[in-house]
């Protein structure tokens, strides 16, 4: 067997003649581009490689390719597409199922002579065209609108939803504090906090658990408390556009007040709707005078804890607290002093599209109130009747308790009005039966001419006999134990809440938020008010804020108990706390670079039960090329008690966790704290660490690509085992997952850098990126007769994977997995049109990134 090459001609002469002929051809045709012409290489050592196929920009060799499919400019899916030769052109072909279900096309009857497994696009969808960008693996399809089943914008076919893989994960957030106090009440205080939020995914089933542990020790007196927030199993029911929950969780609070339950719940999941047809956690605003801990609780359960710097703060990253119930916010200053306030939680009015419905059904035991074994049932239903009208219905039933709800939302040119009325009938104690009504009115509107955003205005009125189920169960249990019951909703008469944001264009921004409540049986009014103005002048940003908080405590609670103390009169209150704070904040960068540190200053004036003036000034910024190290240093003075103080914080974000340390000191105390926050994911390939993971996340697998960064991965990188985590994904939406090859090992190469996935809610999706691993080789190849290999011939590895082609000068680029082996070079379909190219790295120079070798390509037939 011999090569089909003429070895009698000198390669240099062939190249010269070929180049001259190509230049003459270009000049003769008056063309400025370059073209491949196989005829110019006839009779030379370079012939046989078929280069003319590259003259077309859209050229594709027949085969199956994994491509991103765009339909009329919109991404639809990533799928393998087969390309076949038809009329001397390579074009894609699709199965009937793919056309109808994945593309949403409506083709006519299948041609009798056609292949139903692989139909040409123009045959099945007349008037359609395609365009393939091979470098980006992107296939654009243009299909007439009349042949498509039009879906809403953002629609993702359920066939594309990814249930993910079986994995276990846990998020952890650990913090330690030590404080030393001087003076008459001196001593040492140690405090620790560990928050856990994790689960296991098994197919469509998701097991979840959220809990935290707190430890405190003051002068040798220690106490630890484990707090289980919720544990439940959940799975999606796409056929019902619903989600099933079993275990310990919470009902939503958009119609009835939220109830912790132990049982089952079936409810609509609006996340399955497209974006164009589709949750809420309140922002917590406050002011800290020192380096403080902020603890947020709801219905007596701690749900969040963090550390804030001196000055106004906003917390917007609460876990899914999308249920009703006021938030109790506790601000613990570095010197041990505390302040408390509550954040009312009322749902924004929600209008529904015509024809859409939302329901929820819950059956279980009440977890937060009573003895924990009180059965209750919930049923709510909402339906869009028209563009302007939504109807709400609901019922809540328990032993000797009934609540019925009716109402709706009316959308008008003057804003959205939500009105719900609820009737309750309850046995509070053995011989006491109460009936009453509650009326709730919400309003929301953005006034376009003045750019005034009335985010939420809510008013709620209750008659004296109205009772929530939680208050009924709590008061029954309290009476059985000879105790009293009280809550923020118990016997509430009126509550008014308001949130307004006013944009002033180039003159800054104003915001106002507040609430006021009063109660039956002499319980005084509770009022909160926060007002602020912010603006920027050149590089100077400033904010002026005013807040007022007033809270009243009582010596006794307000439920009479037979034989026990009677309800206190208004003069029996234990005390009132009233605090007014006026704050001025200014900040500016110390330089024009984006890496320049920021100088900030704050002045606060307190009046009321705690008066005084405090000042703080500090510098904060980031360090490092990737800006993953952040720092903050501040010093201040307080006119009352605390004196001068200073504090410093350092935080390092790594690929596997976020670390932080801090120190604060004044004349009266010294405090040091440290913490770590991260996540661990257990899967079939081992254990992978990351900065954190949300309820829905991805595990990236790129074997051999250690060091590659994950774009949008909060600093995550492919570890030594070839894995990394993408912390958060949007369920039922396409999410781009991409890798940054910068930092990758020199012995690996990414064959693809971007994927798109649409996960189920709560899914942990394993996304595999194809890689080439091994030593990078540049082989100067020759045939046994010394002639070069055909230009453009394909090169395959030992697994039959096409890894490149023969380049100029008969050079072959490849990645070798082992120290020695062989590649296959092929330039035709005949047996003699291929050869085997061996390589051996034992004697090669290894001090270069690209290893250069010389080898002889032996005819394939000679290997047999």
Residue 595 has pLDDT above 90, yes or no: no
Dihedral (C-alpha) 470, 471, 473, 475: value to the nearest 10 degrees? Answer: 160
Tell me the mean pLDDT in the region 287-306: 78
pLDDT at 552: 65
State the pLDDT at residue 316.
61
Question: Residue 515 in contact with residue 498, Cβ under 8 Å?
Answer: yes
Residue 307 lies in a domain: no
Asked if the structure places residue 797 within a domain, the reply is: yes
Q: Which residue has the higher pLDDT, 39 or 567?
A: 39
pLDDT in tens, 489-510: 888 899 988 888 888 878 888 8
CA torsion through residues 592, 593, 594, 596, sign: negative
pLDDT at 446: 63
Confidence of residue 40 (pLDDT cuts 50, 70, 90): low
Total number of domains constituting the chain: 3
Which among 302-306, 440-444, 675-679 has the top mean pLDDT?
675-679
Choose among 778, 738, 774, 737: nearest CA to 758: 737
CA distance 122 to 114: 12
Average pLDDT rounded to a whole number, residues 712-717 = 76
Q: What is the pLDDT of residue 324?
A: 39
Q: What is the domain-level CATH number for residue 107?
A: 3.10.20.410
SS3 (DSSP) at 809: helix
Listed in sequence order, the DSSP H helices in 330-482 are 469-480
Contacts of 547 (CB under 8 A, 6+ apart): 286, 287, 528, 529, 530, 531, 580, 581, 583
Beta bridge partners of 363: 264, 377
**Structural domain ending residue among the three candidates 748, 772, 796:** 772
For residues 49 and 793, give the distance between their C-alpha atoms in angstroms, rounded to a whole number: 5
- pLDDT surpasses 90 at 613: no
**Same domain, residue pair 764 and 816:** no
Averaged pLDDT for residues 570-590: 76
Residue partners of 651: CB distance under 8 A and separation at least 6: 629, 630, 631, 658, 659, 660
Tokens of 340: 């408390």
Identify the sign of the CA torsion 811, 817, 822, 825. Answer: negative
* 800 in the same domain as 786: yes
**For residue 57, pLDDT beyond 70:** no
Residues 788 and 855 in one domain: yes
CA distance 233 to 265: 11
The reported pLDDT for the residue numbered 674 is: 94
Domain housing 737:
697-772
Distances 836 to 144, 274, 789, 824 between C-alpha atoms, Å:
49, 53, 11, 5
pLDDT at 299 over 80: no
Residue 266 scores a pLDDT above 90: yes
Mean pLDDT (whole number) for 729-750: 83
Cα separation of 156 and 150, whole Å? 12
How sure is the predictor about 116, in pLDDT bands with cuts at 50, 70 and 90?
A: low
Instruction: Indicate if 750 and 785 belong to the same structural domain.
Output: no
Query: Is 784 in the same domain as 768?
Result: no
Q: Is residue 300 part of a domain?
A: no
Residues 6+ apart with CB under 8 A from 467: 401, 424, 426, 428, 434, 436
Q: Give the burial string for 674-686 (b: 16+ CB within 10 Å, else e).
A: ebebbbbbebeee
In a domain, 692, yes or no: no
Q: Are residues 730 and 741 in the same domain?
A: yes
Mean pLDDT for all residues in the chain: 80
Residue 731: pLDDT over 90: yes
Structure tokens of 347?
């749902």
**More confident site: 697 or 863:** 697
Check pLDDT > 60 for residue 273.
yes
The C-alpha atoms of residue 352 and residue 50 are separated, in whole angstroms, by: 61
Q: Which two tokens stand for residue 46?
A: 């370079």
Q: Is residue 121 part of a domain?
A: yes
Is the residue at 721 inside a domain? yes
First to last CA, the chain: 11
Confidence class for position 669, pLDDT limits 50, 70, 90:
confident
Same structural domain, 77 and 135: yes
Question: What percent of the chain is modeled with pLDDT above 70?
Answer: 81
Cα–Cα distance, 16 to 46 (Å, whole number): 12
Please tell me the distance from the alpha carbon of residue 76 to that of residue 510, in angstroms, as a whole number. Answer: 42
Asked whether residue 251 carries a pLDDT value surpassing 70, the answer given is yes
- Same domain as 777, residue 745: no
For residue 424, count CB atoms less than 10 angstroms from its CB and return exposed for 0-12, middle for 13-18, buried for 19 or more. Answer: buried
Domain-ending residue, one of 772, 789, 820: 772
Q: What is the 3-state secondary structure (H, E, C) of 82-133?
A: EEEEECCEEEEEECHHHHHHHCCECCCCCCCCCCCCCEEHHHHCCCCEEEEE
- pLDDT beyond 90 at 293: no
My answer on whether 731 and 768 are in the same domain is yes
Q: What is the pLDDT of residue 504?
A: 82
Domain containing residue 852: CATH number: 2.60.40.2070
Alpha helices in 488-596 (DSSP H): none
Residue 93 lies in a domain: yes
What's the half-sphere exposure (Cβ side, CA atoms, 13 Å) at 620?
Answer: 17
Task: Report pLDDT for 15.
Answer: 36
**pLDDT for 793 beyond 80:** yes
- Same domain assignment for residues 845 and 767: no
CA distance 343 to 320: 16
- Supply the pLDDT for residue 518: 85
Contact between 345 and 325 under an 8 Å Cβ cutoff? The reply is yes
pLDDT tens profile 164-187: 999 999 999 999 999 888 866 678
Last residue of a domain, one of 116, 150, 184: 150
Q: How far apart are CA 457 and CA 500, in angstroms?
A: 8
Has residue 404 been placed in a domain?
no
Assess contact for 789 and 762: CB atoms under 8 A: no
Residues sharing a CB contact under 8 Å with residue 507, sequence separation 6 or more, in sequence order: 535
Angular region, 371: left φ>0, alpha ψ -120 to 50, beta rest: alpha
- Percentage, residues of the chain above pLDDT 90: 25
* Residue 808: pLDDT over 70: yes
Structure tokens at 636: 């201040």
> Do 71 and 125 belong together in one domain?
yes
> Which is it for strands 63-71 and 138-142: parallel, antiparallel or unpaired?
parallel
Q: Within 10 Å of residue 604's Cβ, how many Cβ atoms?
A: 23
> What's the DSSP call for residue 33?
S
Its pTM stands at 0.70
Which of these, 367, 313, 292, lies nearest to 669 by C-alpha position? 292
Q: Which residue has the tokens 């077309």?
A: 56
Which of 143-147, 423-427, 702-706 shows the lowest mean pLDDT across its residues?
143-147
Question: CATH no. for residue 746?
Answer: 2.60.40.2610
Q: Are 289 and 333 in contact (CB under 8 A)?
A: yes
Rg (CA), the chain: 35
Residues 139 and 97 in one domain: yes
């Amino acid at each position: 067997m011999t090569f089909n090459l003429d070895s009698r001609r000198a390669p240099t002469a062939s190249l010269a003649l070929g180049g001259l002929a190509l230049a003459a051809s270009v000049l003769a045709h008056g063309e400025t581009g370059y073209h491949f012409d196989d005829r110019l290489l006839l009779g030379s050592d370079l012939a046989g490689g078929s280069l003319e196929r590259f003259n077309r920009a859209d050229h594709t060799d027949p085969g199956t390719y994994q491509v991103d499919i765009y339909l009329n400019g919109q991404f639809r899916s990533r799928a393998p597409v087969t390309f076949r030769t038809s009329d001397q052109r390579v074009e894609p072909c699709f199965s009937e199922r793919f056309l109808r279900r994945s593309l949403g096309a409506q083709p006519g009857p299948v041609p009798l002579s056609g292949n139903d497994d692989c139909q040409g696009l123009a045959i099945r969808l007349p008037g359609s065209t395609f365009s393939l960008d091979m470098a980006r693996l992107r296939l654009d399809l243009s299909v007439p609108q009349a042949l498509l089943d039009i879906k809403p914008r953002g629609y993702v076919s359920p066939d594309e939803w990814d249930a993910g893989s079986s994995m276990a994960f846990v998020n952890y957030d650990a913090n330690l504090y030590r404080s030393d106090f001087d003076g008459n009440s001196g001593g040492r205080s140690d405090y620790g906090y560990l928050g856990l939020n994790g689960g296991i995914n098994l197919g469509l089933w998701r097991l979840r658990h959220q809990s935290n542990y707190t430890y405190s020790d003051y002068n040798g007196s220690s106490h630890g408390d484990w707090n289980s927030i919720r544990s439940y199993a959940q799975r999606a029911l796409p056929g019902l556009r619903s989600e099933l929950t079993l275990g310990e969780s919470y009902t939503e609070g958009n119609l009835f007040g939220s109830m912790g339950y132990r049982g089952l719940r079936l409810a609509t999941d609006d996340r399955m709707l497209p974006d164009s047809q589709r949750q809420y956690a309140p922002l917590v605003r406050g002011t800290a005078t020192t380096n403080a801990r902020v603890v947020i609780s709801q219905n007596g359960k701690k749900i969040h804890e963090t550390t804030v710097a001196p000055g106004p703060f906003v917390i917007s990253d609460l876990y899914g607290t999308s249920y009703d119930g006021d938030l109790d916010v506790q601000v613990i200053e570095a010197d041990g002093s505390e302040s408390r306030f509550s954040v009312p939680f009322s749902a924004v009015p929600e209008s529904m599209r015509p024809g859409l419905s939302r329901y929820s059904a819950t059956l279980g035991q009440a977890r937060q109130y009573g003895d924990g074994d009180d059965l209750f049932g919930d049923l709510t239903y909402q339906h869009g009747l028209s563009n302007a009208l939504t109807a709400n219905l609901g019922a809540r039933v328990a032993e000797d308790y009934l609540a019925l709800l009716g109402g709706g939302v009316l959308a008008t040119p003057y804003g959205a009005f939500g009105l719900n009325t609820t009737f309750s009938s309850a046995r509070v104690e053995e011989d006491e039966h109460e009936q009453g009504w509650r009326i709730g009115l919400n309003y929301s509107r953005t006034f376009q001419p003045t750019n005034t955003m009335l985010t939420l205005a809510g008013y709620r009125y209750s008659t004296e006999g109205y009772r929530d189920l939680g208050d009924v169960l709590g008061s029954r249990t309290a009476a059985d134990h000879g105790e009293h019951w009280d809550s923020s909703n118990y016997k509430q008469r009126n509550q008014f809440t308001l949130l307004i944001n006013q944009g002033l264009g180039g003159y800054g921004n104003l915001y106002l938020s507040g609430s006021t409540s009063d109660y039956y049986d002499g319980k005084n009014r509770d009022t909160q008010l926060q007002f602020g103005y912010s603006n920027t002048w050149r590089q100077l940003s400033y904010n002026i804020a005013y807040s007022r908080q007033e809270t009243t405590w009582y010596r006794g609670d307000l439920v009479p108990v037979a034989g026990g103390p009677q309800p206190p009169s208004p003069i029996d209150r234990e005390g009132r706390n009233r605090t007014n704070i006026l704050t001025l904040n200014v900040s500016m960068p110390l330089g024009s670079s984006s890496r320049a540190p920021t100088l900030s200053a704050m002045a606060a004036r307190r009046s009321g039960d705690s008066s005084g003036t405090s000042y703080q000034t500090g510098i904060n910024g980031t360090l490092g090329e990737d800006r993953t190290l952040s720092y903050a240093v501040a010093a201040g003075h307080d006119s009352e008690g605390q004196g001068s103080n200073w504090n410093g914080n350092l935080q390092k974000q790594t690929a596997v966790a976020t670390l932080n340390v801090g120190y604060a000191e004044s004349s009266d105390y010294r405090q040091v704290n440290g913490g770590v926050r991260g996540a661990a994911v257990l899967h079939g390939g081992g254990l992978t660490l990351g900065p954190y993971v949300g309820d829905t996340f991805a595990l990236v697998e790129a074997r051999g690509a250690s060091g590659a960064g994950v774009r949008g991965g909060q600093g995550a990188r492919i570890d030594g085992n070839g894995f990394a985590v993408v912390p958060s994904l949007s369920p039922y939406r396409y999410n781009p997952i991409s890798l940054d090859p910068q930092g990758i090992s020199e012995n690996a190469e990414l064959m693809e850098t971007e994927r798109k996935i649409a996960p189920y809610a709560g899914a942990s999706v394993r996304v595999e990126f194809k890689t080439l691993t091994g030593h990078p080789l540049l082989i100067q190849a020759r045939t046994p007769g010394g002639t070069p290999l055909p230009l453009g011939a394909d090169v395959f590895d030992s697994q039959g994977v096409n890894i490149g082609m023969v380049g100029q000068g008969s050079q072959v680029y490849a990645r070798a997995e082992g120290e020695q082996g062989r590649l296959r070079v092929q330039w035709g379909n005949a047996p003699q049109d291929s050869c085997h190219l061996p390589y051996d790295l034992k004697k090669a120079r290894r001090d270069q990134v690209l290893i250069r070798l010389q080898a002889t390509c032996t005819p394939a037939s000679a290997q047999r």
